[in-house]
Each structure stands twice: as structure tokens, then as C-alpha cells.
Amino acid sequence: MKISVPNSLPAIAIVSNATSGGGAEKSMMSLHEEFLKVGLKSDFVALNRNLPINGVTKVTILNRQWKSGIRSTINNYFEFKKTIRSIEPQILILNCELPELFGSLIDFKGQIICVEHTTYPWHKKRNLGKIVRLILRIKKVQWITVIKDSKKIWFGKNAIAYIPNPYVPPTKTNKILVKTPSLVFIGGLKKNKRPEWVIEAGIKSNLDVHIYGDGPLKIILEVKYKKFTENIKFYGFQSSVWETLPSNALVVIPSEFEGDGMVVMEAVLSGNPVALADNQDLKRFQLDKKHYFKDAISLSEIIKKYEKNNFKELIPSDSFKADLISVRSINIVTEKWLELLVKINYNMITK
């Protein structure tokens, strides 16, 4: 699909926690790449130190380390402020909590767009989040949500648009059917993601468990389950899981809450079977009830029921995949963003 970009669109800067990692980071980096391809003046600013993405230009990675304390965060803010002054964007697109905080503090004359990536933002710092979002409201930021059927922004004005996270197909796939099915967890290793449900289900079912991700629970879980090292493997963060994941690996998403549920989308479109926690966020995918579990016990029951047939019954249908891609392909999502930026630019010029 050929995407045309009006010459009048202003320069933008996308601000994210990192160049890769969770759904927000991956999605915004993909969007930045597409913006550059179609000729938009786009810069990507990652607040935390991590690896650059090969072949992607106009990326600035700042020097903060994850969980490095308040002094590092203050230094990071001044580095961010200097970077924005150097780039001179007319539109700032902020993603997640730390970019929101910095956006509330900076003296910026252009338009700020904040993207809501979760149904429970600032869940560990709710009082600080209220202050930040009240300041952002005073600054008249515009809100975009990646969450379907969600309009109200927590302590913010209603979203002006719903634009889902995009799906970018893997550059190559090497799907194989291995002898024994397995369980897979992909995501942050933190309390609300409930990775231990998957581990315990694997032990109970005598299936291998593959954990992809990092976070505060990683070392705790490695120590707790060290006697199961032959069956439970921790890989840390991996950028290309879907390229080599066996076709009979059941991807389990046990999260207490989710935003866009990007892992679900990627698992489905990669052809893997899926099992999801039965909550409001994941029910938005409207999969058949056989895919959902209420707790760790019902997860084990699903595994027991379907493992003998390599979890084939838990692979979503081709029509379901087609519906997903029809709204989440990178070209379609880029088009929606460009249409929105045209409207915002018009409003900036005419106000």
C-alpha cells in the first residue's frame, strides 16, 4: 500500500521508555520506522539506556538505567529537555508514565499527544499519576488510546481517537512441530503479569515452560524454581521470539490486567495456540470461551484437556486472524496516525 504524506506535516518526536521491550515500546518504534519510510520528519527518544535497533535512524537513546533512583531520573529529565530543544519538534508523542511525567514538566510550545497503553495506568504510583495528568490536562494534551471501546482516560480528557498497536510480521519464520508441547510466557516478570501461574501449571502438567521477559520477579523465580532447571527455562528479554517458537507451544497470558494485549495479537497471528486470563481486558478479543481461564486451577484444566492434541483446538481460526490483521497491519495503523496528525496540525495552524 502506498502511503502519501502531506508536505505540510510538522516535525514530531516520539518519546518512549526504550527502543524495545513491551508492547508500547515495540509499537512506537515500528511506527517511527514507518514515519521515516513515508518521509515524515520523525525522531524517536528513548529515556532508558538500551540497545539501538539495527538500521533505524533518527533515534536518540538517553543514559538512564531502569530503576536507577530519583537522582538518575532528575538527570534524565534535563537530558530529555536538552534533546527536545535540539530536535525542535512541533508535536510530542508521549508513551507511558515516565514520558508523561517529563512532558508535564517541560515548557513545550507545540502540541503534546499522550498515548494510553493500559487500562490501569500509574498502578503503583496513583497519587503521582493524578498530579501528572492534571498538569497535562492544563497543558491541553490530546489523548489517543490503543484500547478498543475505551474513551475515558483516567484523570484525563476523553480520547480523541482509538488507534491500536500495529502488527509487524517477523522477517522470517521457522515454525516446527516438536515432539512434546510446551507452555510459553512472554512479558514483564512482575506481579500483575502473574508468570508463576504458568510455571506452576507446567510443573503440574509435567510440561516444559519457557519464560521470555525480564523484571523484578526474574531472580526471585529463578531461585524459587532452581530445582526445575531442566524443565523451566528463563531466557530474559528476546526481540524475536515468534520466529522460532514451535507451533505446539501454548502461549499463556495470565495478566491481571492488560492494555492492547499485543502479546495476544502476536501469538494469534504467528499461528500459536493461546490461553488467556478471563478478565475484561482480554475478553475484548472475543475468543471462544475455551481459551479463557479464571485462575491457576482452571488453567491446568485447559492444559490437561488439550495437550494430547498439541493444543490444536486452541489455535484461533483463520477468519479471526484475518479480522485482526484488517485493523492492525502496520500500513493501516500508520494511515490512521497520519490522518490524525493532519487534523492536529490543522488545528494548530488555525487556533
CATH of the domain at 222: 3.40.50.2000
Q: For 163-186, what is each residue's pLDDT tens digit?
A: 999 988 776 666 677 889 999 999
Pair (195, 132) in one structural domain: no
What is the number of other CB atoms lying within 10 angstroms of the CB of residue 64? 23
197-213 pLDDT, tens digit per residue, is 999 999 999 999 999 99
pLDDT tops 60 at residue 3? no
In a domain, 7, yes or no: no
Greater model confidence, 231 or 67: 231
In a domain, 155, yes or no: yes
Question: In terms of domains, do 108 and 121 share one?
Answer: yes
Expressed as residue numbers, the domain containing 199 is 182-325
Give the separation between CA 181 and CA 310, rounded to whole angstroms.
Answer: 6
CB 191 within 8 A of CB 289: no
Residue 72 has pLDDT above 90, yes or no: yes
What is the model's pLDDT at position 129? 97
Residue 136 DSSP symbol: H
Mean pLDDT of all residues in 223-247: 90
Q: What pLDDT score was predicted for residue 244?
A: 83
In the predicted model, is pLDDT for residue 222 greater than 80?
yes
The answer to whether residues 186 and 84 belong to one domain is no
- Domain identity same for 295 and 338: no
Give Cα 126 distance to the centre of its chain: 20
Residue 72 lies in a domain: yes
316 and 186 assigned to the same domain: yes
Percent of the chain clearing pLDDT 90 (strictly above): 74
62 sits in which H/E element:
strand 59-64
- As a whole number of angstroms, the distance between CA 67 and CA 97 comes to 13
* Integer Cα distance of 302 and 123 in angstroms: 30
pLDDT tier at 5 (50, 70, 90 boundaries)? low
Residue 6 has a pLDDT of 60
pLDDT in tens, 104-153: 999 999 999 999 998 899 988 999 999 999 999 999 999 999 998 888 89
Are 43 and 74 in contact by the 8 Å Cβ rule? The answer is: no
Nine-digit cell string for 241: 521470539
Q: Is residue 24 part of a domain?
A: yes
Lowest mean pLDDT among 17-21, 77-81, 158-162: 17-21
Round to whole Å and give the CA distance between 92 and 11.
Answer: 9
176 located within any domain: no
- What pLDDT is recorded for position 238? 83
pLDDT, tens digit (0-9, with 9 covering 90-100), for 7-31: 678 899 999 999 987 788 989 999 9
CA distances from 76 to 22, 102, 120, 229, 247 (A): 21, 9, 25, 38, 42
Q: Hey, is 147 helix, strand or coil?
A: coil
State mean pLDDT over 44-52: 89
- pLDDT on residue 345: 86
Average pLDDT, the chain: 91
Q: In the prediction, which pLDDT does 172 show? A: 61
Q: Give how many domains the chain has, as a whole number.
A: 2
Q: Is the pLDDT of residue 2 over 60?
A: no
Check whether residue 115 and residue 207 sit in a common domain.
Answer: no
pTM of the model: 0.87
Q: pLDDT band at residue 346, thresholds of 50, 70 and 90?
A: confident
Residues 6+ apart with CB under 8 A from 68: none
